[in-house]
Chains A and B, each alone.
Chain A
Amino acid sequence: MSKIPVVERIMSQHDRVAIRNRALLDARGVHAINVMASPGAGKTCFILATAERLGNRLRLGVIEGDLASSVDADKVRAVGLPAVQINTGGNCHLDAIQVGQALAQLPLEEMDLLFIENVGNLVCPATFALGEHTRLAISSIPEGDDKPFKYPFIFANVDVLILNKMDLLPYIPFDVEAFYRTVRGLNPDIAIFPVSCVTGEGLDAWVEWLLQRVQRP
């Protein structure tokens, strides 16, 4: 019996595909955002609200990841945005291979910004790089302020966090300051935007940040 040193990152093959996706996006001048959150946090509503606020300042496209159905892609297409639905058929996350196939179906030359809406899940999507430039998580008030304790990996590994459904704050016990403290403890550089996609509260500040990030040379 002999020992062979390997020292190879488990995700190395997968991440190679993600790097290829990233190179394609860069060549077409498209900034991609990987949107991760639990089911019902408001991912699709947030993408649509962002699109509305952006108006014609950026040209958008969307990849929708779900276990099944084209409900989300239909909603996005209904407002005139190009959208590709990926059905993972039971898989709990999008992977770079699926996203690569979806990229081939989008008019990248006519886009500046791509939202990749991941499968609703706070665990698995964080492990799989897709080729994105920005990693975004959404938490929402009804989920409770303890989520960073339960799912630290995702909060420690995103660039920006949206705290959605702020309009429900009067009705639900949620310690916003304690929540921010825990999240910033896990991720000192994170940008956090409290918003409501129903009232529009907070969306202007988020869109300003987004425009700066996308247009940064």
Chain B
Amino acid sequence: MHELAVTESIVEIVCRHAERAKAKRIRRIYLVIGDLSSIVDDSVQFYFDFVSQDTLAQGAELVFRRIPVELVCEACGHRWNPPDADWVCPACGERRGRVLAGREFYVESIEVDT
């Protein structure tokens, strides 16, 4: 249920940017979330519906862009998307994967009425 705190943070960020742009209301919120972030989209949506009440974000649509985990093998340089948490390089069999993508956790942009 840490999605509540996360959602409050999202609403704070988008309202701050919307106010700065003197927007009347926020229509859409574009979120980028890596698969290594333990966030459930539906849960954020659930909390958003009441956290955003009486703010510029009320009624806005949440658009999630999920980033799959991408690793690079430090042994052979192979890049791959692991299907689960057993991070074995499919090219050489080593377990020395470095995370290239999958930790993203940010608000990318908002669409507003001005």
Contacts and interface: CB of A to CB of B under 8 A. Distances in A.
Interface of A: 1-14, 90-93, 95, 123-124, 126-128, 148-150, 152-153, 155-156, 181-182, 184-186, 188
Contacts of A7: 106-109
Nearest to B34: A153
B18 interface: yes
B2 A128 contact: yes
Nearest to B25: A1
Contacts of A128: 2, 5
7 contacts: A1-B111, A4-B111, A6-B108, A10-B10, A12-B9, A124-B1, A185-B96
* Interface SS of chain B: mixed
A7 B113 CA distance: 19
Nearest to B12: A13
Given A2-B21, A11-B105, A91-B1, 20 more contacts: A1-B111, A1-B112, A6-B13, A6-B110, A7-B109, A8-B13, A8-B106, A9-B105, A10-B10, A13-B9, A93-B5, A123-B38, A124-B1, A128-B5, A150-B85, A181-B95, A182-B85, A182-B87, A185-B86, A188-B74
B111 A12 contact: no
B110 A4 contact: yes
A3 B105 contact: no
Which 6 residue pairs spanning A and B have beta carbons closest together?
A185-B95, A124-B2, A152-B85, A185-B87, A6-B107, A149-B85
Interface in B34-86: 36-39, 74, 84-86
A98 to B, nearest CB: 11
A3 B63 CA distance: 13
B87 A186 contact: yes
Contacts of A149: 84-86
B99 A156 contact: yes
Contacts of A9: 105-106
A188 B111 CA distance: 41
Interface string B1-41: 11001100110111001100101000100010000111100
